[in-house]
Amino acid sequence: MTDQNNSFDAIIIGAGFSGLYQLHTLRDQLKLSTLTVESGSDLGGTWFWNRYPGARCDSESHSYCYMFSEEIYKKWEWSERYPGPEEIRSYLNFVADELNLRRDIKFNTLVTKARFIESDNKWELTTEGGETYRATYLITGIGCISSANIPSIPGLQDFQGKWYHTGNWPHEEVSFENKRVGQIGTGSTGIQAAPEIAKTAGHLHVFQRTPNYSVPARNAPLSDAFKREFHDDYEEIKKAVRSTPNGHPFRISETKVFEHNKHEREKVYEDAWSKGGLQFRATYQDLTTSKAANDTAANFLKEKIKSIVHDKTTAHSLANIDYPYAGKRPPIDTNYFETFNRDNVSLVDLKQESIIKITEDGIQTSARHIPLDIIVFATGFDAITGKFMEMDIQGRNELKLSEAWKEGPKTYLGLQTPGFPNLFSITGPGSPSVLCNMPVPIEQHVEWITDCIAHMRKNDIDTCEASEEAADEWVAHVNEAANATLLVTVPHSWYLGANVEGKPRVFMPYAGGMVRYRALCDDVVKHNYAGFVLSSKNDSEQTGGNNSKHNFDITKQITTPGI
């Protein structure tokens, strides 16, 4: 709903999975005047920007979608086991049409500043184009992996060829035909991109700083029978994704690795390898918590690499992995390791030679000059907090978010930061977010925020703000949850912010599991929004009961991490 004074009850930043659903709930359920602003020229969020060759979601399509409406779920038909960006954008467009969302989305609108005006109890947003907007509630749906990380390698400005970052891929086709291509990065993205680029490139050089495990995705068209089945099983699938720690529709085995003998384990791993996908991580209960248990899976996967890749030196470089499987986000692939058997593909092992600089016509390593026409940066993102930091967000007393998060993000439940009243974030730092199948935490957050705003309006509450004490307690718990896993043992992981120079090293997502997280959020509500300060301007007293202290235990032992 547009307003002549650019003033709204609620403004949402971002028109991806989060922003679209949040617009629906606030506008259509709470009947608030609501605007969504989006920097892209169309909706899709992550899937608007990530159009690189081979891009594909690693959650399975029948669970990578909204579950809030049975009707919408059943009206849409996915075509493949894992959806690509185009199909996901078509799906989101279909949802937007069903709910008539477009009319309240302003595209090409980049928010550069958001300031809380205490006297008016409003957020004021300024855009790159100089427009201003005001709203009582500000909700960010800005994605976790949306701020491209382009490493500061000297000489990029001198490069005469073309270069691209995978997270900001051009909309027009990029031709690699007969080109000499250098791809930097072998995370989930690089592992997807390399096999596709190699199909047409004259030569592809894959620059690998850290080798990675990967399990075949085994993507395939969905059969008609499967499509019928998942429509018929809507209730069960919904229940399944909401009852697993990671939001995926498969169960994590309750068996521990050493309850099986070597022979039994090999069979479990072989079966999971044949089935493909992230389910490999679910083969045993203790894969992400016990190093000895993890070693068995890690060794299995390293042997697979060596059995696929013909050239011994290349195979050794690819399998020379010194951290636990799934300690970093585990990629799934289509013919990644097989790609190194092609004559037009070579691996540049940056453990053997390092990148010195980019030159006019290639990359200079410590050992040689590699001539290139195109450089592809598959170098990841300033994840989870990067997009927040790109905006100048100021809360009470002109407190900048960049200042409040100087030592690392400090949130309560990932939903709010002390000093920033009525600013809610969907899948913010300190929430399960990237450790889950994303639509599951997104729906939970959107619904929680909607209920919270409904509660505020019903009870004449003007501001909702996380208390310092609750945020401190939550940050400690996020660390505790991470420390119960092997994820904290990987020093170069983006979960820790370690991929971005100068970024504080803090484990950002909540590893305690989505089920547990959902229960905690529900408990907070039951305890009258414990940990949040709810206040009304007509009443200087806090109106929330027991605001800063919980009387439930958030720290009881975590047995199954949320990954």
* Residue 209: CB atoms within 10 Å: 18
Which of 53, 182, 185, 421 forms a contact with ligand NA7 (CB under 6 A)? 185
Closest residue by Cα to residue 363 from 500, 492, 211, 204: 204
Which of 88, 142, 184, 393 forms a contact with ligand NA7 (CB under 6 A)? 184
- Among 174-182, 194-202, 206-214, 471-479, the segment contacting ligand NA7 (CB under 6 A): 206-214
Nearer to ligand NA7 (CB atom), residue 43 or residue 496: 496
Q: Does 302 bind ligand NA7 (CB under 6 A)?
A: no
How near is the Cβ of 487 to ligand NA7 at its closest, in Å?
Answer: 12
- Distance, CA of 96 to CA of 21 (rounded, Å): 9
201 sits in the region (left: phi over 0; alpha: psi -120 to 50; else beta) called: beta
- Among 76-84, 104-112, 356-364, 379-387, the segment contacting ligand NA7 (CB under 6 A): 379-387
- Distance, CA of 494 to CA of 429 (rounded, Å): 12
Q: Which residue is nearest to ligand NA7 (CB)?
A: 187
- Distance, CA of 382 to CA of 65 (rounded, Å): 25
Which of 109, 136, 210, 411 forms a contact with ligand NA7 (CB under 6 A)? 210
**Six token digits for residue 129:** 């184009």
How near is the Cβ of 503 to ligand NA7 at its closest, in Å?
Answer: 12
Nearer to ligand NA7 (CB atom), residue 139 or residue 500: 500
How near is the Cβ of 499 to ligand NA7 at its closest, in Å?
Answer: 5
Site for ligand NA7, residues 488 to 507, rule: CB under 6 A? 492, 494, 499
Q: Does 323 bind ligand NA7 (CB under 6 A)?
A: no
- Distance, CA of 129 to CA of 126 (rounded, Å): 8
222 sits in the region (left: phi over 0; alpha: psi -120 to 50; else beta) called: beta
Taking the CA atoms of residue 360, residue 365, residue 366 and residue 369 in that order, the dihedral angle to the nearest 10 degrees is -60
Q: Does 151 bind ligand NA7 (CB under 6 A)?
A: yes
- Distance, CA of 34 to CA of 41 (rounded, Å): 19
Residue 133: alpha-carbon gap to chain centroid: 28
Q: Does 190 bind ligand NA7 (CB under 6 A)?
A: yes
**Six token digits for residue 398:** 């002109």
Q: Does 329 bind ligand NA7 (CB under 6 A)?
A: yes
- Distance, CA of 292 to CA of 451 (rounded, Å): 44
Contact string (CB under 6 A) for ligand NA7, positions 427-466, x = contact: -------x--------------------------------
Nearer to ligand NA7 (CB atom), residue 64 or residue 381: 381
Q: Does 209 bind ligand NA7 (CB under 6 A)?
A: yes
Exposure string of 265-286, with b = 16+ CB inside 10 Å and e = fewer, is: beebbeebbeebbbbbbbbbbb
Which of 140, 188, 335, 431 forms a contact with ligand NA7 (CB under 6 A)? 188
- Among 187-195, 222-230, 246-254, 289-297, the segment contacting ligand NA7 (CB under 6 A): 187-195
Please enumerate in sequence order all residues whose Cβ is within 8 A of that of 276, keeping only pairs 6 or more positions apart, or say none. 215, 216, 217, 218, 332
Q: Does 186 bind ligand NA7 (CB under 6 A)?
A: yes
How near is the Cβ of 347 to ligand NA7 at its closest, in Å?
Answer: 12
How near is the Cβ of 55 to ligand NA7 at its closest, in Å?
Answer: 9
State the residue for tokens 């896993």: 485
- Determine whether 226 is exposed, middle or buried from the number of CB atoms within 10 Å of its CB (0-12, 13-18, 19+): middle
Contact string (CB under 6 A) for ligand NA7, positions 84-123, x = contact: ----------------------------------------
Q: Does 562 bind ligand NA7 (CB under 6 A)?
A: no
How near is the Cβ of 212 to ligand NA7 at its closest, in Å?
Answer: 7
State the residue for tokens 């907070």: 524
Residues that bind ligand NA7 (CB under 6 A): 145, 151, 153, 184-190, 207, 209-210, 329, 350, 355, 378-381, 434, 492, 494, 499
